[in-house]
Structures are given as structure tokens and as C-alpha cells.
Chain A
Amino acid sequence: MSKPIIATASLAGCFGCHMSLLDIDERILKLIELVEFNKSPIDDIKTFTKECDIGLIEGGCCNTENIEVLKDFRKNCKILISVGECAIMGGLPAMRNGIPVKECLDEAYLDGLTVGENKEKIMPNDEELPIITDKVYPLHEIVKVDYYLPGCPPKADLLWEAVVALVTGKELDIPYELVKFD
């Protein structure tokens, strides 16, 4: 039987959840025995080359590119998991929610105390750049999400237990200490 395939992505996140996945230490060798990785920053595969069983997504959606990647994951993954606070509730990027986008951009590029020389008052507007959304969205407000792993980041043991439970079909019994929102 072929191994289950995992894909991962970081949207509006800090890559901390991916770091936490690497925090499983030597168990990463066991993980490689258990699963195969497809599209993921971990192996640097940029596009889906086959249908995946599990998609782990960190970060919420703050721009059109995030939404596109998320929808691509939903299309290509049988099970989609929101990993971490940003994916579940927007996280720190969502602190801009409620502030008009123009105000945020003005602060970042024109009026902010740390803005250096910008006499021409240039706002990044290259057509290659994704458009910023009106607010940062949790993943499940855009596509159907099957499971949630909270934490900032989710503890390495939680990620490990969850992935192993999924690929081996064992029931997941999470100890109290493992589920935290920070």
C-alpha cells in the first residue's frame, strides 16, 4: 500500500507552525517512513503533483493569493486541517481587522513613524502583487475545514499525535497539556 501523502502551506502566518512540526525532532525520521510529502515548503515542491490525503495549513487569509492557495489545497487534499491560531481565528495579522485597509497602508508606507524617505508617496501597486483583503479571514470562513489544531504554535507533540492518529486510523486522545491557544 502506498503511503499517505501530506501537503503543507503557510499563508498569513509566521512559519512558526512549520517550525513546530520540525520540533518533533528525531520523530521526523519516523514521519518520513509513515508519509510522503508533496507540495510543501519543507521539500520545496511548489505545485501539487498528485492528490494528497492531508493538507496542513498555517496562517489565515489576508490577500487574494492566500485565498487561491487555500482553494487549491481544498481541491487537492482529502482532509484539510487548520493549524495554529492564525488559521483558526486570523491570529495576530487579524489585529488589523476593523481598521480600514487604506488606513493600514497609509500607516505602513506614508505616515508611520518608521517610514523613511517616501517623498513621491509611492504605495506598492505592481500588478504582480496580490490584492489585500478587507480583513484577515480564518480558513473555515472561506473553505470547508475538517480539523483544527490550536496553539501559537501548536505543540510539536500535538502535531505529531494528530498526524499519526490520522494516518494510522487510531483514535486521538489529546492530553490536557497539549491543547493551548498560545
Chain B
Amino acid sequence: MSDTIKFTIDGKECTGKKGQLLVDVAAENGVYIPVLCHWKGVKPAGSCRICTVKVNNRYVTACTLPIDENCGDIENNTPELQDIRKAIVEMLFVEGNHFCPACEKSGDCDLQGLGYKYQMMVPRFPYAFERRELDAKSPKIFLEKNRCIFCKRCIRMIKDEKGRSYFAFKGRGKTLEISMDEKLAANISDELAQEAMDICPVGAILKKEVGFVNPIGKRKYDNEPIGSDIEKSQQ
């Protein structure tokens, strides 16, 4: 078992296999590192930076770091890192148009869940109020571009049998937006549409003809902070 790696996160002993991604190993060891763009088993993008941890005094995204012998003691839940993560959440909130009261994903939204976890009362940055369009051309999906946080989960994961992505980025910098392939999306299956909605960490991808399925009080983050399932798994 020479490929077994031992290291600590905030003093807690963890074990994993060499080369495994830190964020996945942490979850297996009952340590929650927040993610927005990462999805286990999918090639990491490292785009949202919310999983930033400190390894050997350097900031690293846990979703792109394969563990090895040099990991040492990793910092995760320090006040400094929590504030960095809170700032990222706040930045994402002001960059898009996140009107939680009017969003179907409210209560099940990962971005909102992190807002609750870090007790975001108000973002420290000014609101951008950028105007983006809503693409409702697909018979199965709404694409609400105002809510996209550019995690690339849908681009990386939602593909047809030939491997073609239903979603893609359009533009660069300030004009960057998520877009949907009109022809492909016209024939998207119910299952894939549902999967697209489920993997979207915010309310940018919504399945048509269903909505507000879970009542208030029974949604994912109504009663327990995001990551509670991971933290409880090892207790």
C-alpha cells in the first residue's frame, strides 16, 4: 500500500490514494471543502476558486490538486480562507442577477447555500446589474443567463451520444455568456434535461413544465448548511 497518502486537514488525519483529487479525498474523510464547479469524476475546471485551501502556505484549488507525500497539514476552515470564500460568493452574487425570491432553484441552489453557510448578509461589492437574456427556445429547458456563474459543469457533462456538448461559452471577458446549441437542445431528452438542471449549481438551467417541486422547509438547504451530509458521514 505504498500509494496510500496520509496528511491532515486543519489537524484532522486523512488518508487517500496518491493522485486522487484533494477535494474528493477530503469528502471521503468527512471534511467538507465547498465546490461550485467541481463534480466528482469529471475532469476538473478549477474555474470558481471557492475550494481554495492553503497547502504549504500556498493557495491552491482543492479540485485541481492531486494529493502526494508533500501535502503536510492543509488549511481549510481558517477564518482567512472562510473570508476568501465568502468574498467569492459575494462577487458571484453581484456579478450576475441573483433574485433568490423569484428563482425556482432557491433553497436547492449551491451558491445560495454557500451564502447561508458564510452568513452573507450583504455583498461587500457593488451590484453590476448586467443584463443578460433568457433563452427559452428549447422545448425542455430554460437557460437563464443572468444566473450563470460560469462553472462549466453543463459544458463538460451534458453531451449527446456523439460527444457533442449541448452548452458552450460565447464571447470573452465582460461579454462572456453561456449559450445552448439550438438544434441539439430542440431534441434533448427529459432525462438529460433533468440532469442538466440537477448539475447546475445555480438556477441557470431549469427544466420546463416542472417547478417549485419541493415546498419551503423541505428543500436542500432549508434546515442544514451545505456540506452537512459530508461532515456527518464520518462522525
Contacts and interface: CB of A to CB of B under 8 A. Distances in A.
Interface residues of B, number: 27
B115 A99 contact: no
Contacts of A179: 116, 119, 121
Interface stretch (A43-51, A88-96, A109-117): A88-96
A90 B122 contact: no
A176 B100 contact: no
Interface in A93-131: 94-95, 97-99
Interface string A134-173: 0100101100010111101000000000000000000000
Interface string B115-142: 1100111110011011100000000000
Interface stretch (B28-36, B39-47, B217-225): B217-225
19 contacts: A88-B121, A89-B93, A89-B123, A89-B127, A90-B129, A92-B101, A92-B102, A94-B127, A94-B129, A95-B102, A97-B129, A97-B131, A98-B97, A148-B122, A149-B121, A150-B121, A177-B223, A180-B116, A181-B101
Interface in B67-115: 93, 97, 99-103, 106-107, 112, 115
A152 B131 CA distance: 23
Given A97-B131, A174-B119, A177-B222, 15 more contacts: A88-B122, A89-B93, A89-B123, A90-B127, A90-B129, A91-B99, A92-B102, A94-B129, A98-B131, A176-B223, A176-B224, A177-B223, A179-B121, A182-B100, A182-B107
Contacts, number: 72
Contact of B101 (A91, A99, A176): A91
Contacts of B122: 82, 88-89, 138, 140, 145, 148, 150
Interface string B26-67: 000000000000000000000000000000000000000000
Nearest to B115: A181
A175 B75 CA distance: 26
Contacts of A149: 121
B99 A92 contact: yes
A53 interface: no
A108 B121 CA distance: 33
Interface of B: 93, 97, 99-103, 106-107, 112, 115-116, 119-123, 126-127, 129-131, 216, 222-225
Contacts of B222: 177, 180
Contact of B100 (A85, A140, A141): A85
Nearest to A84: B101
- The interface centre, meaning the residue of A88, A89, A92, A181 with most chain B CB atoms within 10 A of its CB, is A181
Interface residues of A, number: 29
Contacts of B120: 150
A147 to B, nearest CB: 8
A148 B100 contact: no
A150 B119 CA distance: 10
A89 B98 CA distance: 9
Contacts of A99: 131
A94 B225 CA distance: 28
B121 A95 contact: no
Contacts of B97: 95, 97-98
